[in-house]
A and B are shown apart, each in its own frame.
Chain A
Amino acid sequence: MQIIIVAFASLFLVRLFYLQVIDQKYDTLAKNNAIKELDVYPTRGLVYDRKGELIVYNEPIYDLMVIPRQAKNVDTLRLCELLGMTKEDFLNRFEEMKQQRGYSSYKPNAFAKQLSLKDYSRLQEYLYLFPGFYGQVRTIRKYPHRVAATILGDIGEVDDKAIDKSDGYYKPGDYIGKSGIEKVYEKQLGGTRGKKYVYVDVHNREMGSFGNGEFDTLAKAGDNVITTLDIKLQEYGEKLMQNKKGSIVAIEPNTGEILAMVSSPGYDPNLLCGASRGENFMKLLKDTLLPLYSRPTLATYPPGSAFKPVVGLIALTERVQPVDYFVTCTGVYLFAGLTLHCSHRHPSPPNIQYALEQSCNSYFWQTFRNIIENKNYSDIHDVYDKWSRYCNSFGLGVKTGIDLPSESTGNIPSSKYFDRLYGKTGWHSSTIISLGIGQGEILVTPLQMANIFACIANKGYWITPHVVKRITDPVTEQDVTPSHDKHVSLMDTQFFAPVIEGLHMVVEEGTARSAKVDGISLCGKTGTAQNPHGDNHSMFAGFAPMENPKIAVAVIVENGGYGAAYAAPIASLMVEKYLNDTIQQKRLPLEKRMMEGNLLSKYGVSINKTVDLNADVDE
Chain B
Amino acid sequence: MAKHESITGKIDWFTVLLYALLVSIGWMAIYSAVYTDEQPSLFNTSLNSGKQFQWMIASAIIAFVILIIDSRFYITFSYPIYALLLLFVLSVMFIGTEVKGQQNWIRLGSFSMQPSELAKFAVALAISKYLSGLNVDIRKWRDKWKAFAIIGIPMIIVTVQGDAGSAVMFLAFSLVLFRDGLEPYFLIVGSSVIALSVLSLIIPKLTLVALLFGVAAVVIYFSRRNRKISLAIAGIWIVASLYVFSVDFAFNKILKSHQRDRINVLLGKEVERGKDWNIRQSIIAIGSGGVTGKGYLQGTQTKLKFVPEQSTDFIFSSIGEEFGFIGSLVIIGLFVSLFFRLLYLSERQRSKFSRMYGYCVTSILFFHFLVNVGMAIGIAPVIGIPLPFISYGGSSLLSFTVLLFIFIRLDTQRYETMR
Contacts and interface: CB of A to CB of B under 8 A. Distances in A.
A37 to B, nearest CB: 15
B52 interface: no
B329 interface: yes
Contact of B300 (A8, A17, A23, A34): A34
* Size bracket of the B interface: 35 or more
Contacts of B300: 30-31, 33-35, 199
A8 B370 contact: yes
B320 A20 contact: yes
The winner among A5, A6, A207 for most chain B CB atoms within 10 A is A5
Interface residues of A, number: 33
A215 interface: no
A27 B287 contact: yes
A3 to B, nearest CB: 11
- Tell me what chain A mostly uses at the interface: helix, strand, loop, or mixed: helix
Contact of B362 (A1, A15, A20, A207): A1
Nearest to B326: A20
A208 interface: yes
Contact of B373 (A2, A6, A12): A12
A207 B325 contact: no
A27 B304 contact: no
A9 interface: yes
A175 B335 CA distance: 59
B286 A19 contact: yes
A29 B287 CA distance: 9
Nearest to A13: B332
Contact of B291 (A6, A20, A203): A20
Contacts of A9: 332, 335-336
Contacts of A34: 300-301, 303-304, 306
A160 interface: no
Contacts of B42: none
B22 interface: no
A8 B370 CA distance: 7
Interface in B357-397: 359, 362, 366, 370, 373-374, 377-379
Contacts of B366: 4-5
B47 interface: no
A25 interface: yes
B328 interface: yes
A21 B340 CA distance: 27
B304 A202 contact: yes
Given A12-B377, A20-B320, A200 B284 contact: no
B305 interface: yes
A6 B369 CA distance: 13
B287 to A, nearest CB: 3
A16 B328 contact: yes
Contact of B304 (A16, A26, A201): A201
B325 A1 contact: no
A1 B370 CA distance: 13
Given A5-B339, A35-B300, A199-B304, A12 B291 contact: no
The winner among A26, A30, A31, A199 for most chain B CB atoms within 10 A is A30
Nearest to A201: B304
A200 B304 contact: yes
A13 B332 CA distance: 8
A207 B303 contact: yes
Interface in A179-220: 199-203, 207-208
Contact of B328 (A11, A20, A200, A202): A20
B343 A1 contact: yes
B289 interface: yes
A603 B285 CA distance: 72
B379 A2 contact: no
A21 B179 CA distance: 37
Interface in A413-442: none
Given A17-B325, A20-B328, A25 B379 contact: no
Interface string B334-350: 01100110010000000
A430 to B, nearest CB: 81
Interface string B274-314: 00000001011111111100000000110111100000000
Contact of A15 (B304, B343, B377): B377
Contacts of B285: 30
A20 B304 contact: no
Given A2-B343, A5-B336, A17-B325, A201 B288 contact: no
Contacts of A35: 300
A143 B290 CA distance: 57
The winner among A8, A19, A20, A199 for most chain B CB atoms within 10 A is A20
B83 interface: no
A195 B58 CA distance: 50
B407 to A, nearest CB: 15
A5 B289 contact: no
B320 A30 contact: no
A9 B330 CA distance: 12
Given A2-B340, A12-B374, A27 B332 contact: no
A16 B283 CA distance: 10
Contacts of A21: 290-291, 325
B34 interface: no
Contacts of B179: 1
B377 A199 contact: no
Given A2-B343, A15-B379, A21-B325, A26 B332 contact: no
Given A1-B179, A20-B320, A29 B284 contact: yes
B108 to A, nearest CB: 30
The winner among B179, B288, B340, B373 for most chain A CB atoms within 10 A is B288
Interface in A14-63: 15-17, 19-21, 23, 25-27, 29-31, 33-35
Contacts of B374: 12
Given A12-B377, A19-B287, A33 B304 contact: yes
A13 B329 contact: yes
Contacts of A29: 284, 287-288
Contact of A19 (B336, B339, B377): B377
A202 B370 CA distance: 28
Closest 9 pairs (CB-CB, A-B) = A26-B287, A30-B288, A34-B300, A201-B304, A20-B325, A19-B287, A26-B288, A27-B288, A202-B305
17 contacts: A5-B366, A6-B336, A13-B329, A20-B291, A20-B320, A25-B287, A26-B288, A27-B290, A29-B288, A30-B284, A30-B287, A31-B288, A33-B284, A33-B304, A34-B306, A200-B304, A201-B306
Given A30-B301, A207-B37, 17 more contacts: A1-B175, A5-B339, A5-B340, A5-B343, A8-B370, A9-B332, A12-B373, A20-B320, A21-B290, A26-B283, A26-B286, A26-B287, A29-B287, A33-B300, A33-B306, A34-B303, A201-B303
